[in-house]
A and B are shown apart, each in its own frame.
Chain A
Amino acid sequence: MSQERFDALIEADERIEPDDWMPDDYRKTLVRQIAQHAHSEIIGMQPEGEWIIRAPSLRRKAILTAKVQDEAGHGMYLYGAAESLGVDRAELLDRLHDKTQKYSSIFNYATPEWADVGAIGWLVDGAAIANQVPLCRCSFGPYGRAMVRICKEESFHQRQGYQIMLTLSEGTPEQHAMAQRALDRWWWPSIMMFGPPDADSPNTARSMAWGIKRYTNDELRQQFVDATVPQAELLGVTVPDPDLVWNEQRGHYDFGTPDWDEFARMVKGEGEIPDLRISTRRNAHADGDWVRDAAAAYAAKQQRREQVA
């Protein structure tokens, strides 16, 4: 009966809410996906956070601080959505810290130059938006609602990034070259953010049947390339893909094949940067121990006072 009702709701493209019965695999898939998404938001604070003290002006510093603060907030929205499935936030953080749950491998790349902050906003947040807009219609209500909130805030992220790229590309030859180097570094990783090709993505069909996913990896990837190439042309920078060409017949860009071996290595999370991301995160958590202890002690003291009074 429960399964029938769940199937009927999915069939009617209705939303599943936390109190509804749901299959175990649906719950598990969502916990894994939402947790990974939440982890990505808070780990994503690091590559850009490194640039806050080095941003070239007070304005850029304020913008970048606001953006990194938003990423933290996105993580909180998503941990909240995951908790509606009956898991505990502290446990999810433990799993991030012991590497049994993953975050997006895009954050395992380095940000050696200021232009990388621009490229991240433009491309990485651009790819994230392409991924996240359809998730607003995810069949699980709390996840969809978190995504609506997040998507509203992402527009500022992408625009500030593109504006950095625009400023650099219209600047001195050195600045223009720096913008080009950032595009060279971030183009392929961004393309790979949509995940493996459909043929190698065994869970896609099930997630689509459940209404968690609305488009396949390759469909979203194509949509991103089509939207982004004209933006690169406007900047006067060259997309580092010799196979990139407009296909009149398809009405889409044809493009080359990313280095999926590199993707597999990055997903594994081995190497200097992934270790740095996790150790930074672990240390931040451990350094916050005394704050959590102090807050608990203060709350307990207030409670004792109320009881006395």
Chain B
Amino acid sequence: MNANWPLWEVFVRARRGLSHTHVGSVHAADGETALQAARDLFTRRQEGVSLWVVPSSEVIASDPANEAELFEPAADKAYRFPTSYELPPEVDHM
């Protein structure tokens, strides 16, 4: 029976002002117990101030096989970076 508990992805906000960050996953019967399990597993040493749990089955992930077509086109667009503009030293902090 326990083996059928669904998987939940866990996100912790380390402190106020920061985004929740993915830290791992837990198995639990429902969201409420998933939160408790995540609290016990991932925040025993003041690692955070807020938790999110999301059903793993709800995560839509990009396919690693598509990595190149998704992300490589940005590589030849150097003009999107501030460093591609040469300015005189007096104003280079801009």
User: Which residues of A line the B interface, CB within 8 A?
Assistant: 9, 14-17, 19, 59, 62-63, 66, 70, 126, 141, 144-145, 155-156, 158-160, 162-163, 166, 230-231, 234
Contacts and interface: CB of A to CB of B under 8 A. Distances in A.
13 contacts: A15-B17, A16-B16, A17-B50, A66-B79, A141-B16, A144-B17, A156-B80, A156-B81, A156-B82, A159-B94, A160-B79, A163-B87, A234-B88
Contact of A162 (B18, B50, B79, B91): B91
Contacts of A162: 85, 87, 91, 94
A224 to B, nearest CB: 13
Interface in B34-73: 50
A132 B89 CA distance: 24
A157 to B, nearest CB: 9
Q: Among B13, B80, B90, which residue has the most Cβ atoms of chain A within 10 A?
A: B80
Nearest to A17: B16
Given A17-B13, A62-B77, A234-B88, 9 more contacts: A9-B16, A14-B16, A15-B17, A17-B50, A66-B80, A144-B17, A159-B82, A162-B87, A162-B94
Nearest to B49: A17
B33 interface: no
Contacts of B21: none
Nearest to B16: A15
A16 B49 CA distance: 12
Nearest to B92: A159
A62 B79 contact: yes
Contact of B87 (A19, A126, A141, A159): A159
Interface of B: 13, 16-19, 50, 77, 79-82, 84-88, 90-91, 94
Contacts of B87: 159, 162-163, 166
Contact of A59 (B18, B79, B94): B79
Contacts of A70: 80
B17 A234 contact: no
A234 B90 contact: yes
B44 to A, nearest CB: 22
Contacts of B91: 162, 230-231, 234
Contacts of A63: 79
A160 B85 contact: yes
Contact of A141 (B17, B77, B80, B94): B17
Nearest to A142: B19
A158 B90 contact: no
B16 A19 contact: no
A9 B49 CA distance: 13
Q: Among B17, B77, B88, which residue has the most Cβ atoms of chain A within 10 A?
A: B17
Nearest to A156: B82
A19 B50 contact: yes
Nearest to B77: A66
Contacts of B19: 145
A59 B90 CA distance: 25
